[in-house]
A and B are shown apart, each in its own frame.
Chain A
Amino acid sequence: MSALSDAALRRLRDAAEAPDLTGTKYEIVGRIGQGGMGTVYRARDRELGREIALKVVRLPEGAPDIAARMMREARTLALLEHPGIVPIHDVGTLADGRVFYAMKLVRGAPLHELPGVSLPERLTIVERVCEAVAFAHAHGVVHRDLKPQNVMVGAFGEVLVMDWGVAKIVGDTTVSLGVGSVAGTDEHAEPTTGHGVVLGTPGYMAPEQAAGDPSLVDARADVYAIGALLRDLCTGNPESTHSDGAGDVPRPLRAIIRRAMSPDPRDRYSDVTALAHDVAAFRAGDRVTAYNENLFERARRLALRHSTPILLVLAYLLMRLTFLAVFGR
């Protein structure tokens, strides 16, 4: 057998690595991406005739029961039925022992690739993210890897939170879900969590998460990450974890980011819903809890908030003055 060309070798490696889907209802259409936790394929569900995203997860070594645990926890995640969370359709084990997840194939653009979006629209996206994450928190699941690459905006403006691959079920500090990404991949992620193992993405990871002790991580780590998302969306430029952005970002918005990204979790919003309320309040021109405005700022905000009636009153007064000046002599 003569040596293989580079192109043939690439094809063969893909073919050899392709999951053996014998006995399943799926067939591979192509590969979407590869990350530290496994490979995501575009696949077709023969029975339902639709395309799905199929993630085949690498199994960590030295943990023989990990496949069963990952499947059990994937079932928990499958219970998170929310329009902002990518649904899992199926989970199973391949003939070679690898675990796979069938998920909705999301078509859209990740947050960091969204072209020309206004500030109010960006704030609305953050609110949608908060809603999805709040739903997961209510079911005891912390995402732990929120970042622009893991938020997809669909063609009709729908916002979906992706890649729950390093999510943590509150109360279990030893194993992450191992389910995940459809469009994005995470080179940093590993499927097990223990002391000293850092999961997440620098720049979006709360300090207590970066410390590597999973017992310290709770829903407030997601508050921090959403603060970083908000920072990116407002400044368009990811900075260090302690930056709240500067430039022309309005002060109340900067205060929201600063509070969400407080190094001490106790100084952050208590939950993502509180953060969402502040973002919504800012968008509506209302007072935000993270910022103590002075009298002038309050007057200015109220003037902007109620600009229409104020302008009508001013117009009326001007008209009366004009009338008096002309006919009142």
Chain B
Amino acid sequence: MGSFPATRHSVVAGIASPDIHARRVAFDALVSAYWRPVYKYVRIKWRRDRDDAADLTQEFFARAFEKGSLGRFEPARARFRTFLRLCLDGFVANEIKARGRLKRGGDVSFVPLDFAAAEHELSTHPAAHGAGAASHADHDEDDLFRQEWVRGLFSDAVGALRASCEAAGKTKQFAVFQRYDLDDNADVRPTYAQLASELAIPVTQVTNYLAFARRELRRLLLERLRSLCATDEEFRLEARELLGADPTSRPA
């Protein structure tokens, strides 16, 4: 993870760039953000086994890079996320039809993809246990894809938050955030007073540290979201769904 471009240029614009280097950088970011949802989607919706799903995931991105199919996205017609899922559906359907006739795998490789970890995550997914059941309805499939996309976005932003806190010597800020918002081992959230005692800081600092970490998380999320959206309109819509606010508004 952590392969998002440092600039705020849209990844979606980058994948259509005539500059091969810019296109490559954009594709790495795109793969980082989407490979997990793509893999899990292929596993669950298309009911492919692990190896097959891993191959199809890699090949989907490799083929898209070679052919530039994702660069043909039209923002007026759909969100990029929806477009990518529809492209994936078309790709997998064609692959299944052509199985045995086409050479597997592409020559292009992107960021390393940890399919074993994705498989482990999938083992707890309820839909993964219904492999023999009928295919999910369209909206469920879209939900699944979106949910995994959101999960990836948050995972990446949390990773970036951890790295920036460590770099800035703000480990206690991250520790408060981790214990209060991230730690899902505890059945019940600790109180601010418990956290203060645990980390030997005043209760007021718990409030401040948590506010800081959340603000940073929000900023990192929006930064990543912006890079994954094709237009300002799409960015606003996604941000509103994800965070409940119009990211372009400013204090009155």
Contacts and interface: CB of A to CB of B under 8 A. Distances in A.
Nearest to B118: A3
A67 interface: yes
B244 interface: yes
Contact of B182 (A11, A17, A58): A11
A95 B251 contact: yes
Contacts of A12: 154, 158, 181-182, 217
Interface residues of A, number: 34
A294 interface: no
B246 A8 contact: no
Contact of B246 (A27, A59, A93): A59
B6 interface: no
Contacts of B221: 16
Contact of A97 (B177, B181, B211, B250): B250
A68 B182 CA distance: 36
A138 interface: no
Interface stretch (B71-79, B128-136, B235-243): B235-243
A67 B217 contact: no
Interface residues of B, number: 40
Nearest to A18: B214
Contact of B245 (A1, A4, A13, A59): A59
B184 interface: yes
Contact of A16 (B36, B117, B242): B242
Interface string A13-30: 101111011100001000
Contacts of A61: 236, 246
B246 A39 contact: no
A7 interface: yes
Contact of A27 (B207, B240, B251): B207
Main SS class of interface, B: helix
A21 B211 contact: yes
Given A17-B243, A38-B244, A4 B214 contact: no
A68 B184 contact: no
B215 interface: yes
Contacts of A160: none
Contacts of B242: 13, 16-17
A93 B251 contact: yes
B28 interface: no
B121 A3 contact: yes
Interface string B193-221: 00000000000000100010011011001
Nearest to A10: B184
A97 B247 CA distance: 8
Q: Which of B151, B243, B252 has the most A CB atoms < 10 Å from its CB?
A: B252
A1 B244 contact: no
Contact of A1 (B156, B215, B218): B156
A237 interface: no
10 contacts: A2-B155, A3-B36, A13-B242, A16-B214, A21-B211, A58-B240, A59-B246, A94-B251, A97-B245, A97-B250
Given A11-B181, A15-B181, A59-B249, 17 more contacts: A1-B158, A1-B159, A2-B155, A4-B182, A5-B124, A11-B184, A12-B182, A13-B150, A16-B154, A20-B211, A39-B244, A59-B245, A61-B246, A93-B251, A94-B251, A98-B245, A98-B249
Interface of A: 1-5, 7-9, 11-13, 15-18, 20-22, 27, 38-39, 56, 58-59, 61, 67-68, 71, 93-98
